[in-house]
Amino acid sequence: MDAGEKLPWRGPGPGRPSLPLPPGPMPLRRDGHARKRWRYIGVFGPELMFCAARAQVGPFSQSFWVLWDRLERRRYAHTSLRPGGREVAMAGRSIEVEARQLRASLRLGDCSAVESICPSGSGWGWTRKRAGVPVSGTIEAGGRRWEVAALGVDDESAGYHQRHTSWLWSAGVGRAVDGRSVAWNLVEGINDPPAGSERAIWVDGQPHEPAPVSFRGVAAVELADGALLGFTGECERARNESFLLVRSRYRHRFGAFSGSLPGLRLAEGLGVMEEHDALW
């Protein structure tokens, strides 16, 4: 890490470190660390839940998508390991998926973002999160077509993380019993110092940083003041991979949330719980 740079840093705001960070160029390797970068977009609605992602670790890349039809209780999913594959295309606000089983054309709306840069061993991790972002467009699969008008999350991340990184993550959208809209991005194990973290809770579109959280696996998240965010899983994508010096164990679940966030009791909530252990 460059001398004199103070981490963690949380934005938007002044003092952004002058490290190699998006949207600028990032070398494939730096100080012995491989560059990692990924983008995950999730959509959570009463009829369907959907996600699409692209990821790179050094020279290795993959993309995947998952559609959960909540009414028919059917899952569609595919992972592509082709270098340069264009099954999942993401450019700014636009997401396009062209696959044998599914076609999707989605566009993201406006939402306040939280940016965080945190130390990771002798390297660092950068992320920009938006939760509660409006998503519109169409998805076609299994002979059905959905007109999408729902809320979701947008996770852009990159960095030179430590060789072994293990984390639990939850993101979702919902409504409090008092009628206010809520969304969250909660994590344990990555970008989660006591302050300046990527943790965020949006209330009526305005984000704030909660205190550190504790995950009960992928079953619940314990927050400050006795708040407990419970989770009921509906659909899972699990994948174990090994590529020479890179190994990954990944578990991703769509489902419904109940319980509370600090100072807020949920009336309803939908989203994702994820467990990831990577040697990269």
Phi and psi at 226, nearest 5°, equal: 80, 5
Quote the mean pLDDT of the chain. Answer: 95
CA–CA separation, 232 vs 41, rounded Å?
Answer: 21
pLDDT one-digit tens code per residue, 67-91: 999 999 999 999 998 777 789 999 9
pLDDT one-digit tens code per residue, 156-195: 999 999 999 999 999 999 999 999 999 999 999 999 999 9
Cβ–Cβ under 8 Å, residues 241 and 248: yes
pLDDT one-digit tens code per residue, 111-167: 999 999 999 999 999 999 999 999 999 999 999 999 999 999 999 999 999 999 999
How far, in whole angstroms, is CA 262 from its chain's centroid? 21
pTM of the model: 0.95
Whether the per-residue pLDDT at 3 is higher than 70: the answer is: no
pLDDT classification of 2: cutoffs 50, 70, 90? low
What residue has token string 């994590």? 187
Predicted local distance difference test score (pLDDT) of residue 147: 98
